[in-house]
Structure 1
């Protein structure tokens, strides 16, 4: 019963549409009707401004971090923590609050992996920041970080209570999922029409 509770909690917390709710509450704007029409942190930054964009980023990362973290505090361990994390990411991208639509899962994945593999997450953050700094494309940074995720996971130290093979398979699937969610960005990158990130 405890495991079922945290599985449901993972999805429900992941499904919380922070960008949409903050936009409507503070600015009376539905960010899904502006910019890239995505409900995630990047579009929130562009549409709502830096303050709210950063707030969405932190909240979206927290909803990935908290479910497996809280589950571990209540005695849940092993590979079930991976499943809880996956459900948080799925909840973000297929939110029942948004008719099973949502963001691309990058910030929520960041939160999940910050708990599961913090050393890999730090390396991915560095890769992401460097790519965005030199290219100004957040989407490209996300895509490259997603591609590097399973590779770094396969060769880095991991939690003792989590199997390396299941974790590597999970990161591979999440990496593929994140890249797939960026398929329109990939098309725009190839065509040279992708929006560049600008600090406000």
Structure 2
């Protein structure tokens, strides 16, 4: 249990690192929370900072999700506890201690977590995300679609033997619901027809 507590704390603090804010200040001298959608995540970083730094934020946020789970797995944590480490990492990103318990919407960090836990499922999800985002030009719509799809895929696609399917479904359902909730203003704008379209640079 001590080992799990150590990795849970590590996961939260790594997840809490506000990469979008840090890169914006270091590279452009601006706080992205004061521009665009005022979100600290990768999509707003892309809009405000440009493609180069937006991709850097995306990669960093995904890495925040991937590596804590990988380290915990290598240390022998598995099953329910490994899933909880992933969940805590995502919560760290969205409820960062460095941003007064505010943060991004959790999409990129969830990407990293599930790329490690269920890579096959995540590759399908990424494919759906790219298709929806490309043809609709709405990243928010793609994010919400994938958040709803992910729990369904955990029920029908292969997963690693060390994971318990029902627990993985519960985790992905909770994360999906959380991501959709974090996109509630985007959903409202989509329904009203005034959501900002994403411009691929």
Q: Is TM-score (shorter-chain normalized) higher than 0.5? A: yes
Residue 31 (structure 2) aligns with: 30
Moved >6 Å (runs of 4+) = none
2:47 maps to 1:46: yes
Please list the CA deviations of residues 109-134 of structure 1 after superposition, one character each: whole Å capped at 9, or x if unmatched: 00000011111100000100000111
Q: Which 5+ residue runs of structure 1 have no aligned equivalent?
A: none
Q: Which 5+ residue runs of structure 2 have no aligned equivalent?
A: none
1:93, 1:174 → 2: CA distance? Answer: 11
2:182 maps to 1:166: no
- Aligned pair count reads 200
2:170 maps to 1:153: no
1:78, 1:165 → 2: CA distance? Answer: 11
3-state SS of paired residue (1:158):
coil
2:115 maps to 1:119: no
Q: Is the 8 A contact 1:14 1:92 kept in 2?
A: yes
1:3, 1:148 → 2: CA distance? Answer: 29
TM-score normalised according to structure 2 size = 0.98
Residue 199 (structure 1) aligns with: 200
TM-score normalised according to structure 1 size = 0.99
Please list the CA deviations of residues 10-62 of structure 1 after superposition, one character each: whole Å capped at 9, or x if unmatched: 11111010000010111110000000000000000000010100000000000
2:18, 2:85 → 1: CA distance? Answer: 18
1:74 Cα deviation after fit: 1.3
